[in-house]
Amino acid sequence: MLRHEPLKDAWAEQRLFNNRIFWAFTGLLLLTGLLISRLINLQVVEHQRYADLSHGNRIRIQPLAPTRGIIFDRNGIVMAENLPAYQMVLIPEQVSDLDGTLDRLSELKLIDEQQRQRFFRRKRGKRSFEAVPLRYRLNDEELARLSVHRHELPGVDIQAALVRSYPLGSTAVHVLGYVGALSESDLQRVETSRYAATSHIGKIGIEGQYEDRLHGQPGHRQLLVNAQGREMDARGEAREELLRNRQEPVPGSDLILSLDSHLQAVAEAALAGRRGTVVVIDVNNGDILALVSQPSFDPNRFSAGGMSNEEYLALQNDIDKPLFNRALSGTYPPGSIVKPFIALAGLEYRAVTPDHSIFCEGYYSIPGNEHRYRDWKKEGHGEINLHAAITESCDVFFYMLAMELGIDRIHAMLADFGFGQPTGVDLPGEKSGLLPSRDWKRGAFDRRSERIWFPGETVITGIGQGYMLVTPLQLTHFTATLATRGKRFKPRLVTAFRDPLSGQITEIPPQELAPVELADDRYWDDIHRAMGAVMNTPRGTGWAVALGAGYKMAGKSGSAQVFSVGQDEEYDEEEIDERLRDHALFVAFAPMENPQIAISVLVENGGSGGRAAGPVVRRVFDAWFEEHRQ
């Protein structure tokens, strides 16, 4: 018999449905509870945090560039300042035809191809509504031309800005240096946050050496912006809040230099048209009163991106090297300038006395060697003592004295004066020169045969030839030490800082160095008298330089060979290439009785020191003592 099962269990289905409804409702309640708790957390618990974040999203911090410090000379004359200038900028979103606009600016001769390429590099990473510089400095004629055609150039605007200016032009450019656009290498070595609002940085000279002092500290202001970052007008309390949060930049310190800009201009004019240097130092504190390197250049061409790559390369590749600071980085044989120092060594080590004399027949030969080391005076000087040997610059006397001293004692004496060492001046790029010795030569050459110090090398060291090299700054430094009878100061250019806000001046005291001490101070008098005779007696090699001066000076002329001449050979200055002629040198200090200043002059390929460099010494001394007549 068949059993009939029900096809549907209504009660079971109802229970299943009710269970599902229960759990669905429970889940909905849990999710709603989570949502409500999250809303409470966001709107109540963390309200302040998200309010601050929201505020940050609508506020943009804009850095403010500090004003660069001003540079003054010792008399308060401005040598580097900041002047307002007009910049040409372009706002990309306002330009419908960017290439066409740039083409039109090119037709108007307001930009060149290089500036066009720079614009595209600057444009990268900027928003379309941000102004991109096209030109950093427009002259009056360019400004007028742009103003006339401005209606044709939507999106092109003019903005005012401060740019670095050098009112004296090329005067003292190798001291001041210049500012130039920040490069990748610059950004790697500076604190980038300090340069967020700055496009330029000190490159060389004082501008580079004292960049930290001159640059100052940037400030910032707050801008109200929308979601796209575009600035919006702030009003009411929002505007007041933005103003309260503004931090003004701190301007850079002003610098006061030791330079006398008038004396600097006189020295540059005296050397005009020639390659060379003039360095003048106050012997009583180390202040550099003038530092000239010729030829020079106008630093204003570098300010605010005013120089093209082609112009810079032309300067860099110029055969006369106008960018090269000869006074600090040029190294030259000192020639006869070294003779007073060799004489001091002779006196100190008692290798010679002031009255000791020798007979000069126009050449010297090392005993047992036939090679002749010639005197500049072919027929010789005859019987001559130390005083006359300095006065007349007798080479033979110093050949013999050098051999008597030996290279070790020569090295010891000259090292006391600072030969072969940087002076420590507060400018970058100073070379140390070279003071040769046995130890130096052993480490300077690879071949064993070249490491030996030969007697002939000692001979020519006695007249400042051979391996010995000095910078013009060193020559003046050594001469100042002679003038002060051994008292030495570190040469310096910055003498004080000035707070641009308060005007307070903080002076930097001179730094005295270890003195040169002699066994008998009368040796200084012997050298002073001999150097005075160089300038003030008819037989002196500098007599024509001092003729008619209203003050007494002491000095020494010299020349340094550029290339070697065979033993029995001579050359005519008129027949050889100008760049192969001897360098002309002259050092001096004055007044002789109470020295105030020391000078060195070097004229590259100038020939005779007395003829080429001496007149420059006279013009500079005359200018100084005319201004400081007591």
> What CATH number did the domain enclosing 497 receive?
3.40.710.10
The answer on pLDDT for 31 being more than 90 is no
The answer on pLDDT for 1 being more than 60 is no
- pLDDT, residue 236, reads 65
The answer on pLDDT for 609 being more than 90 is no
**What token pair was written down for 324?**
């090269």
- pLDDT, residue 118, reads 78
HEC string of 190-245 equals CCHHHHCCCCEEECCHHHHHCHHHHHCECEEEEEEECCCCCECCCCHHHHHHHHHC
In this structure, are 544 and 407 located in the same domain? yes
Asked whether residue 212 is assigned to any structural domain, the reply reads: yes
Section 102-130 average pLDDT: 82
* 321-343 residue pLDDT tens: 999 999 999 999 999 999 999 99
In this structure, are 410 and 527 located in the same domain? yes
* 575-605 residue pLDDT tens: 566 677 888 999 999 999 999 999 999 999 8
**What token pair was written down for 535?**
């300038």
Section 154-166 average pLDDT: 87
User: In the structure, what pLDDT confidence band is assigned to residue 313 with cuts at 50, 70 and 90?
Assistant: confident
Asked whether residue 565 is assigned to any structural domain, the reply reads: yes
Asked whether residue 194 is assigned to any structural domain, the reply reads: yes
The answer on pLDDT for 225 being more than 70 is no
Choosing from 162, 180, 195, the residue where a domain stops is 162
Mark whether 37 is an active-site residue.
no
Choosing from 200, 229, 257, the residue where a domain stops is 257
Q: Give me the percent of the chain exceeding a pLDDT of 70.
A: 88
- Rounded mean pLDDT of the chain? 87
In this structure, are 524 and 577 located in the same domain? yes
Section 132-155 average pLDDT: 86
Q: What is the dihedral of CA 100, 103, 105, 106, to 10 degrees?
A: 180
Indicate which residue of 336, 437, 557, 559 is catalytic: 336
Asked if 533 contacts 546 with a C-beta cutoff of 8 angstroms, the reply is no
Asked whether residue 311 is assigned to any structural domain, the reply reads: no
Residue 115's CATH number: 3.30.1390
In this structure, are 157 and 173 located in the same domain? no
Section 112-128 average pLDDT: 78
Q: How far is CA 144 from CA 43, 100, 111, 153, 507, in A?
A: 58, 21, 15, 14, 45
Long-range pairs, 359-363, Cβ under 8 A, ≥24 = 359/383, 359/384, 360/384, 360/394, 360/396, 360/397, 361/396, 362/396, 363/396
Section 161-175 average pLDDT: 93
Residue recorded with tokens 């000078």: 599
User: In the structure, what pLDDT confidence band is assigned to residue 24 with cuts at 50, 70 and 90?
Assistant: confident
Section 149-161 average pLDDT: 86
Residue 183's CATH number: 3.90.1310.10
Asked whether residue 46 is assigned to any structural domain, the reply reads: no
Taking the C-alpha atoms of residue 279 and residue 428, their distance in angstroms, rounded to an integer, is 16
- pLDDT, residue 624, reads 96
Section 451-464 average pLDDT: 95
The answer on pLDDT for 566 being more than 70 is no
The answer on pLDDT for 627 being more than 90 is no
Domain that holds residue 425: 270-305+325-627
In this structure, are 614 and 517 located in the same domain? yes
**What token pair was written down for 491?**
């040469």
In this structure, are 383 and 438 located in the same domain? yes
Choosing from 141, 162, 183, the residue where a domain stops is 162
Asked whether residue 316 is assigned to any structural domain, the reply reads: no
Section 487-503 average pLDDT: 96
C-alpha torsion sign, points 443, 445, 449, 450: negative
- pLDDT, residue 366, reads 94
In this structure, are 621 and 476 located in the same domain? yes
- pLDDT, residue 53, reads 46
Asked whether residue 8 is assigned to any structural domain, the reply reads: no
The answer on pLDDT for 571 being more than 60 is no
In this structure, are 142 and 229 located in the same domain? no
| Lowest mean pLDDT, pick from 66-75, 152-161, 402-411, 412-421 | 152-161
Q: Give the DSSP H or E segment for 256.
A: strand 254-257
Asked whether residue 19 is assigned to any structural domain, the reply reads: no
- Structural domain count, the chain: 3
In this structure, are 152 and 292 located in the same domain? no
- pLDDT, residue 386, reads 96
Whether a cis peptide bond, with omega within 30° of 0, leads into 591 is yes
Q: Give the DSSP H or E segment for 602.
A: strand 597-603
* 190-213 residue pLDDT tens: 887 788 778 788 999 999 999 999
Higher pLDDT, 242 or 17: 17
Whether a cis peptide bond, with omega within 30° of 0, leads into 295 is yes
Asked if 338 contacts 468 with a C-beta cutoff of 8 angstroms, the reply is yes
In this structure, are 359 and 381 located in the same domain? yes
Higher pLDDT, 39 or 314: 314
* 256-277 residue pLDDT tens: 999 999 999 999 999 999 999 9
- pLDDT, residue 617, reads 96
In this structure, are 412 and 354 located in the same domain? yes
C-alpha torsion sign, points 329, 334, 337, 342: positive
The answer on pLDDT for 80 being more than 80 is yes
At 514, the amino acid letter reads A
User: In the structure, what pLDDT confidence band is assigned to residue 113 with cuts at 50, 70 and 90?
Assistant: confident
In this structure, are 285 and 248 located in the same domain? no
- Cite the beta strand spans of 411-525 per DSSP E: 488-489, 494-498, 505-507, 512-513
Taking the C-alpha atoms of residue 411 and residue 401, their distance in angstroms, rounded to an integer, is 14
| Lowest mean pLDDT, pick from 99-103, 123-127, 511-515, 540-544 | 123-127
